[in-house]
Amino acid sequence: MSAPETRLTTGDPNLDRVLHGGIVEGSTVVISGPPGAGKSILAQQIVFANATSERPALMVATFSEPQSKIVAHLSGFDFYTPDAFGDSVRPLALSDALRSPDGLASVVDRLTAEVVQTRPAVVVIDSAKAMTDAAASSPDLRSHVYELVARLSHTGTTLLLVGEYDDDAIATRAEFAVADAILQLSNDAVGAADRRAFRVAKLRGSSFVSGRHSLSLTSKGVQVYPRLESIVQAAGVSPLPGRASLGVEGLDALVGGGLPAGDATLLMGPSGAGKTVLSLHFVATGVAAGEKTVYVSMEESPDALMAKWRSFGMPLDDALADGRLVLHHAPITELDIDRLGDEVARLLRDRKPSRVVFDSLGELAVGAEREHRHPGYIWSLANLARRDGASVIFTQETMAFGSEVGTRVGFSHLFHNVLFLRYLERPDRLSRALTVVKMRDSAHANQLVELSIGPDGMHLDGTVAGATGLLGWTTLSVTDTGER
């Protein structure tokens, strides 16, 4: 049996995960993408993550750039270490060789000699496209690229070719023909926002996580957020014993003694019907029992949520301080669904909560549908939380009045349990009501139950008689018969 291949880290654990362990040592890798996508940053990040005094890295510039400018570009990133630059990370300018009469031949000879002398772990040529564009002809380019790769293959050096290549180049240019790996970065306008992404177009001799993964540029450098569906196992989650109380007196009895532990539950209803308030009760009850809870909000800030708990006489400041409660705010203005998935995965791994709330599903669904990933993304997010035993609640806003049809109701098949909150139109007032639409593995009540929200939160006020309307309507008309 052959020995396992040695891998080089990319400097980002998530990207290493996508590559199933990192970049194969000694391979030739093309990093392509448009200007501003993060190609050079990724290459430099790989360099600093792997270079040592014994096996340095060469950063080859095909056109002269002052060392002070290179340092200025790098100094804003956490991976940059000033002591390494010039020691384990060595700049090498080949612009003179490229402009010489021998052109690419001179570059190949010069670079080969440098590699033989220094035995680097990594060589970066940036921009490789600018260098290869200097070839006299396509056959000339092909022969010199093949020669360079062949010479370096005997040294164990990993070669990174960085360039602004378009999609057509993959099928036509010599760099891609000899590449063991092709890593594509993109930066596309989505509405008013820019969305960076990463995908593996080729990884010879190795499996990888396919598809388009979200990418961001931060002070840490390039950070990749794997497509959530690719990291959540398709296998179902085993049922768990026990029940999770909703925290509203009388409501647990309607759902068979509480929500089955480990289930995914949808609270759906129009704005103001009580979805968030019921979620607050669910969280407060868990915290009071010593359970850890994560609340992910796309709309309300942590301060606003804490104020709501206080207003209902459920102060959770101590729980927030000691870690029993974690509030994670993901504003809808810059919502990246895979970045959110990565952040939630970290919270679940670190905190191991028994209760998780996502408020609300609507914002997540918009992002998933925009990328043609509904319902897979929502299912994966729910199962990400459930696989470690958490009971999960999603809220979903429906229309305030009229029939509720179409894709919004279509979410319900993703959940074990669905509770429908709605309005009741009485002759003298507008009130609220709740129906248990379904519970997949539990007996439940079928009545329409009126509820109210007061200074101490939500209360059930008895069953409703005389309501007229259709099941899918969010507001029902009630002839007040006095029965409850």
Contacts 24+ apart (CB under 8 A), 453-458: 453/274, 453/277, 455/311, 455/312, 455/313, 456/312, 456/313, 457/248, 457/277, 457/280, 457/281, 457/312, 457/313, 457/314, 458/248, 458/274, 458/277, 458/278, 458/281
- CA–CA distance, 426 with 475 (Å, rounded to integer): 10
- CA–CA distance, 268 with 360 (Å, rounded to integer): 10
Strands (E), 191-335: 193-203, 213-218, 221-225, 243-244, 259-260, 264-270, 293-297, 325-329
Residue 264 banded pLDDT, cuts 50, 70, 90: very high
Residue 484 banded pLDDT, cuts 50, 70, 90: very low
Residue 53 banded pLDDT, cuts 50, 70, 90: very high
Torsion on CA atoms 472, 477, 481, 484, rounded to nearest 10: 40
pLDDT tens-digit map of 121-131: 999 998 888 77
Cβ–Cβ < 8 Å for 162, 39: yes
Residue 472 banded pLDDT, cuts 50, 70, 90: low
The mean pLDDT value for 423-433 works out to: 87
Q: Strand 213-218's sheet: what is its strand order?
A: 89-93, 57-61, 122-126, 158-163, 28-32, 181-190, 193-203, 213-218, 221-225
Task: Name residue 291's amino acid.
Answer: E
- How far, CA to CA in Å, does 328 sit from each of 303, 325, 348, 359? 11, 10, 12, 10
Residue 161 banded pLDDT, cuts 50, 70, 90: very high
Cβ–Cβ < 8 Å for 372, 287: no
The mean pLDDT value for 354-369 works out to: 92
Residue 65 banded pLDDT, cuts 50, 70, 90: low
95 or 449, which is more confident?
Answer: 449
Name the residue ranges covered by the structural domains of the chain: 7-226, 243-478
483 or 50, which is more confident?
Answer: 50
The mean pLDDT value for 420-448 works out to: 91
Q: Return the closest-CA partner of residue 364 out of 345, 355, 377.
A: 377
Phi, psi of 295 (to 5 degrees): -120, 115
Residue 459 banded pLDDT, cuts 50, 70, 90: very high
Q: Which of 123-127, 221-225, 408-412, 437-441 has the lowest mean pLDDT?
A: 408-412
Does domain 7-226 sit in CATH 1.10.630.10? no
Q: In the predicted model, what is the mean pLDDT of the chain?
A: 89
- pTM across the whole model: 0.88
User: What ranges in 64-198 are assigned the alpha helix state H?
Assistant: 67-74, 95-99, 104-118, 128-132, 138-153, 169-172, 174-178
The mean pLDDT value for 317-339 works out to: 94
Q: Is the pLDDT of residue 223 over 50?
A: yes
Residue 50 banded pLDDT, cuts 50, 70, 90: very high
Q: Return the closest-CA partner of residue 343 out of 238, 214, 235.
A: 214
The residue written with tokens 């868990």 in the block is: 286
Rounded (to 5) percent helix, strand, coil in the chain: 35, 30, 40
**What's the pLDDT score for residue 471?**
53
Neighbours of 427 (CB within 10 A): 8
Our CA angle for 190, 413, 297, nearest 5°, is 50
> Residue 122: CA atoms inside 13 Å, Cβ hemisphere, count?
31
The mean pLDDT value for 155-178 works out to: 90
The mean pLDDT value for 134-163 works out to: 86
- Please tell me the CATH code under which domain 243-478 is placed: 3.40.50.300
pLDDT tens-digit map of 208-220: 999 999 999 999 9
**What's the pLDDT score for residue 405?**
39
Paired tokens of 91: 């700049």
**What's the pLDDT score for residue 407?**
37
- CA–CA distance, 335 with 328 (Å, rounded to integer): 13
pLDDT tens-digit map of 389-409: 999 999 999 876 555 533 344
**What's the pLDDT score for residue 266?**
96
Q: Return the closest-CA partner of residue 393 out of 232, 229, 258.
A: 258
Distance of CA 21 to the CA centre of its chain: 19
Q: Is the pLDDT of residue 191 over 90?
A: no
The mean pLDDT value for 278-307 works out to: 97
Q: Is the pLDDT of residue 366 over 90?
A: no
Neighbours of 328 (CB within 10 A): 17
The mean pLDDT value for 179-189 works out to: 95
DSSP symbol at 406: S
Paired tokens of 419: 């509770």
Cβ–Cβ < 8 Å for 305, 295: yes
